[in-house]
Amino acid sequence: MFSTPVLSFMLQWNAAKASCKLLPVLHASLHTGTEANETCKCGIIGGGLSGTSAAYYLRQLWGDKPLHVDIFEPQRVGGRLALVNVDGQDYEAGGAIIHPRNWHMAFFADHFGLGRRTINKRTHGLYNNEKGLYFQTSPWAFLSNSKVKSRYGGDIERFHNLVADTLLSFDRIYEHLYKIEAFTTVENLLRSMDERFLEQIHTTAAVMFKDAGFSDRFINEIVKGSLITNYSQTLHAPAFLSSISMAGAEPGSWSIQGGLRRLPEKFLEVSGATLIPGEVTHVFQKQSPNRTVSYEVGYKKAEHETGREKYDIIIIATPLDPGREKQIHFEDFPGGLDLPKIPYHPLQVLFTHGKMNESFFGKKSVPTHIMATETDVFFNRMAKQSPVNSGGVEEKEGYGVWKLYLNKTPTEEQVRAQS
């Protein structure tokens, strides 16, 4: 696929299957039993976007009242929002773009003075092992629109209507956030936004799009391809997942100058939380004679160094992957904790830097983004990258940094893919 490829970085994460069960994020009432003049201690497990933003919001909620927050993170602040350096330039290795309707991210980017970075114009292609690169758009908008319209006909208008309808309903989540409303189950949250969302988690993507009048070609290429690309799943996935995946196709996506991880770093700074570079191994529930509940966190700081800290509140802001080798053990919780056993999909990201071997695709011009439409393709998606800082180095024609989204580790032959 690439001539003289260079393997620069590989990052693995887990994409959870859709679940109807809400993880108990906050296992304590905000009424912790501490006196008004006593410092409330909160421990947050996980230093990604969820954990650092939780620390920020706790600080806002407590105001001038005494509050101490610790964040446990064994790797790096930002979690999946990681950067990889290729020839002196940084590229997004995890989350890379922000949807134009993500009002929260837009607010914080402006609030913290984080510059926005526009996403370069893209060309798109569809690929499977049988036909190779069998469809691609054009750099010219008029020609590209004509090709898409010719291939999918009335599905395009149906698609735009579906996306607009989905986003209109999904925007209602911000009303709950502004009112500081919470829900005990995912079902109740979805129902509050749109009753149809609740139906979609019990319906497959194939059934929903077929019932909506979409053609088999559109379903098997665009719907299926977007699910493979974003979630490493197919048309058997819940319809709600496909609706969200398809909504990502709306134009106007953007990113943060210098990388998305600047946002969790800013949350950590503004919250005043203390970062503890340790891996949590145990959470114990403690109950005093006056029935006040507290928690004790056991963690590993180094290979042979351990520690324990006591808290009034514990927030779990890390995936509890049942397949993970090192589990967090919850001890002394009366009746135990009913935590969801969510199966995870392992996903990988591979970066290469070199010249595209165009003969692999049988085309002289290769699009900047290529989406697999079958699961037997060794990559889910392939996308040409731009540095997180403006003014990156100019690449020679045909050269570039490419990011491959994979569902398993590829062979060297697959990456090199000689003609």
Report the 3 state secondary structure along 275-326. EECCEEEEEEEEECCCCCEEEEEEEEEECCEEEEEEECEEEECCCCCCCCCC
pLDDT tens digits for range 165-180: 999 999 999 998 888 8
Compute the distance between CA of residue 163 and CA of residue 264 in angstroms, rounded to an integer: 29
- In the prediction, which pLDDT does 398 show? 62
Lowest mean pLDDT among 58-62, 199-203, 261-265, 361-365: 361-365
If pLDDT is split at 50, 70 and 90, which confidence band does 415 have? confident
pLDDT tens digits for range 133-142: 999 999 898 9
- In the prediction, which pLDDT does 323 show? 75
Please check the confidence at residue 156 and state whether its pLDDT lies above 50. Answer: yes
- In the prediction, which pLDDT does 8 show? 30
User: Which has the closest alpha carbon to 209: 197, 195, 194, 224?
Assistant: 224
What average pLDDT does range 283-297 have in this prediction? 87
How many Cβ atoms sit within 10 Å of the Cβ of residue 30? 12
What average pLDDT does range 383-401 have in this prediction? 75
User: Which has the closest alpha carbon to 55: 248, 209, 274?
Assistant: 274
Extract the tokens encoding 376: 């037997």
What is the value of pTM for the model shown?
0.85
pLDDT tens digits for range 95-140: 888 989 899 899 999 999 999 988 877 899 999 999 999 999 998 9
Higher pLDDT, 1 or 213: 213
- In the prediction, which pLDDT does 250 show? 76
Task: Tell me the CA distances in angstroms from 397 to 24, 98, 184, 354, 400, one per residue in order.
Answer: 51, 28, 53, 11, 8
Higher pLDDT, 236 or 26: 236
User: Which has the closest alpha carbon to 263: 111, 41, 60?
Assistant: 111
Higher pLDDT, 178 or 44: 44
Compute the distance between CA of residue 361 and CA of residue 131 in angstroms, rounded to an integer: 10
Please check the confidence at residue 158 and state whether its pLDDT lies above 80. Answer: yes
- In the prediction, which pLDDT does 311 show? 95
- In the prediction, which pLDDT does 15 show? 36
Task: Tell me the CA distances in angstroms from 120 to 139, 176, 286, 340, one per residue in order.
Answer: 12, 33, 53, 39
Indicate the average pLDDT of the chain.
84
Extract the tokens encoding 383: 């996308």
pLDDT tens digits for range 317-335: 998 877 777 889 999 988 8
Higher pLDDT, 122 or 340: 122
